[in-house]
Amino acid sequence: MGKLPRVVAHRGASDVNPEHTLAAYRRAIEVGADGLECDVRLTADGHLVCVHDRRIDRTSNGRGVLSTMSLAELESFDWGSWKRPWADLDDEAELPDLDEMKVLTLDTLLATVRDAGRPVELAIETKHPTRYAGLVERRLIEALDRYGWARPKLGTESPIRVMSFSWLSLRRMRTAAPGLRTVLLMDRIPLRFRDGSLPTGVSYAGPSLELVTAHPEYVDRAHKHGHQVHVWTVNAEEDIRRCREIGVDVLISDRPELAVRTLAEP
Ligand code: G3P
Ligand code: CA
């Protein structure tokens, strides 16, 4: 068997913690994930925060469209109890650290990766980047530059991979920061890239689990072109094993603990 896939925790350890919270990311690091995944969105006052949906209704106790709210407004909401209502907890000891349940800024997540005590990858997905005419990408590069991760110095490696369904977004990132690694997310493979090649400026392929299940031969094809294959979202044990068999490089999972344990099986 070749190298084991690396495990990237999708929205943190989001099977047991509220997604995109510091608690979810700390847990993923604790259980041995090789990397973390997050989605980023722009607030009305120009901060990048880690949230998946356009609206905040599903993952907080607030309502409305995220991009119309300031960071201070977003910080006033509870981003944790939708997953496990605090009101149901009898035991004081079980009460979560509320600081870990706030809306998470990208900056805090970058600092968490830097301070993890071991190398941890961070896959950052830009959501609907075309709506903001490149502003998301500019803010993202500024944030990464504060850590020296957009343009890593010779001999150093950036833990960052920028992911998007939008080739335009990845191209903008690479034009501004040519050393950054990028992943093109795909729920279908365009005809001209079925041979495993990728558009200029894209480092890695990011097919869905459904795609590689239907076309396992795609993994070898991408490898022949020198591209790693990052597959999302792999949660069932049988799929984790199958990804290992077909030589997937990275599996993105809501269940990092299960994925790490399953991959450790002989
Ligand atoms: O890792 C890629 C995956 O996160 C894309 O789908 O909707 O979960 O952001 P979504
Ligand atoms: Ca995502």
| HSE-up (13 A, CA, CB side) for residue 110 | 21
What is the model's pTM? 0.95
Residues of the chain with pLDDT under 70: 1, 129-130
Positive or negative, the Cα torsion across 226, 230, 231, 237?
positive
pLDDT for position 86: 77
Q: How far is the centre of ligand 2, averaged over its atoms, from the C-alpha of 93 (Å)?
A: 32
pLDDT for position 221: 98
pLDDT for position 129: 66
Mean pLDDT, all residues of the chain: 94
Decide: residue 204, CB within 10 A, 0-12 exposed, 13-18 middle, 19+ buried. Answer: buried
Neighbours of ion ligand 2 (CB under 5 A): 39, 125
Q: Which CATH architecture has domain 6-263?
A: Alpha-Beta Barrel (3.20)
pLDDT for position 130: 67
10 labelled catalytic: yes
Among 10, 47, 227, 230, the active-site one is 10
Residue 33 and residue 251 in contact, taking contact as beta carbons nearer than 8 Å: no
52 labelled catalytic: yes
Give the Cα separation of 150 and 140 in Å (integer).
Answer: 9
pLDDT for position 204: 98
Q: How many CB atoms lie within 10 A of CB 257?
A: 19
pLDDT in tens, 53-84: 999 999 999 999 999 999 999 999 999 999 98
Q: How far is the centre of ligand 1, averaged over its atoms, from the C-alpha of 126 (Å)?
A: 10
On the question of a cis peptide bond just before residue 130, with omega within 30 degrees of 0, the verdict is: no
